[in-house]
Structure 1
Amino acid sequence: MKLLRIGQPGAEKPALLDEDNVLRDLSGIIDDVAGKALSPDTLSKIAALDPARLPALPEGQRIGPCVGKVGKFICVGLNFADHARETGKEPPAEPILFMKATSAIVGPNDDVEIPKGSNKADWEVELGVVIGSRAKYVSEDRAMDHVAGFCLVNDVSERSFQSERGGQWTKGKSHDTFGPIGPWLVTTDAVSDPQNLSMWLDVDGVRRQTGNTKTMIFGVRHLVSYISQFMTLEPGDIIATGTPPGVGMGMKPEPVFLRPGQVITLGIEQLGSQRQHTIEARS
């Protein structure tokens, strides 16, 4: 299934995209694509519905973030060996974890702000893992039991804030609009193999990133299990699993960074695509 949220910020309706690409209103079935609605039982009930019996929604509406009320936005750093090397670092022995503020979350086609004082804004196409049921101390072989599905994430970053302003990475990852997610949450049954999905990202029509989730150092099962040893994962939490090479800071002979007035497009096989315009940060 492809689940999404349609409408203006703060007023999104839960929806389903049927096999004929018709948007169907789920607001009579669930309150939101969030929390308990992501449980295996609720997803099974939605899957059993006849989409043709659900009201159709008009086309052309804004697509919101595919998950609402996200509790934790957990990111995995340097999870592609070739990306680690392009940043001048060795591949990690264990997953590197950091948090991205949930206030950074926006829809897949919303504008991305370039922060005030920014000179190194960057892009990162990533596979997002959406938790569907509580996970604490789970084993790798049971990890997928706790996953509702997957989504496309642009882990927008400001490298000078991230690496030159002291502390950890969070301040470079958390500006408003730095977390576009969606367009859809694709349930696990509709993703053939999360460890073999092609990924790409363009800036102004120039291909910058090309990769595949099969080259992740730590796969989805390992990450869900690993993170659950340190914190309880709750329904609606999102794990952004790392990016392939081709980020702006790794460009040769000189880094290339985002500026207002550009267009970012990105996608992951089976998970859809995003398109964002970069703008100056609003007050």
Structure 2
Amino acid sequence: MAGVESAVPGASAGPELAVDGASNPDIDLLYDINGLTKSTPDWLDRAIGFVGEYGLLIALVVLVLWCWASVRRRPEPEVSVAGLVWAPLAAGIAVLINIPIRGFVERPRPFVDHSGLELLVDGKSDFSFVSDHATLAMALGVGLFVANRKFGLIGIALALVEGFCRVFMGVHYPTDVVGGFALGTATTLLLAPLAMALLTPVVTAVSRSRAGFLVRARRVPLPHPAVDLPEPRVADDATDTGSGRNDLAA
């Protein structure tokens, strides 16, 4: 794929977080990671572009649903299910918080101010800091961790891969991704006590209602084991005959 060879003339850089130059580690790392595209085949670049734009977020949603199906089978799943409800809510809140942050910082996308980058997706005309994708992914991953540690660790790992993909694709600086991770984590953890205090009673009430299957998996009653009934006693012919004689004699 052809790289972006020049910056947009006259574009305002705004309050840049990274100063252009070889000594800037943010820009150096941007070129190092995005430069990997020069040695990868086009089909792999297209695959990473799709995964970084859509695939990993879809995978995180599937992971949340998988975790929900798993925790519903526990004896007391209300707290875990409340944590799963909080995960997407926290992600949405974090993205809303990012709207004024982007408007205040006004950092252009890296391909606007730096030449020679390989751009794997088109149509990115908004500001760069903070990365919405990194924010969403990490908020979902940390929210999963609040509900279930095993699934949460998988979710956080997927979020880290998402951050790498965004830099590889040429649409974000590394600091955009780190800022997204920080925003998603802080939003999820700082608001978690209040959110869990509000959501847990609601989830508990739902579990006792007709919609309780959303919280607790319906248990299939086990069949009762067959009871071995005592076989009817068959009297011995000789004994019965003897008893009959005794009865007549009496």
Task: Provide the TM-score with structure 1 as the length reference.
Answer: 0.20
Bigger Rg, structure 1 or 2 = 2
Relative to total residues, which structure has the larger strand share, 1 or 2?
1
Relative to total residues, which structure has the larger helix share, 1 or 2?
2
Task: Provide the TM-score with structure 2 as the length reference.
Answer: 0.22
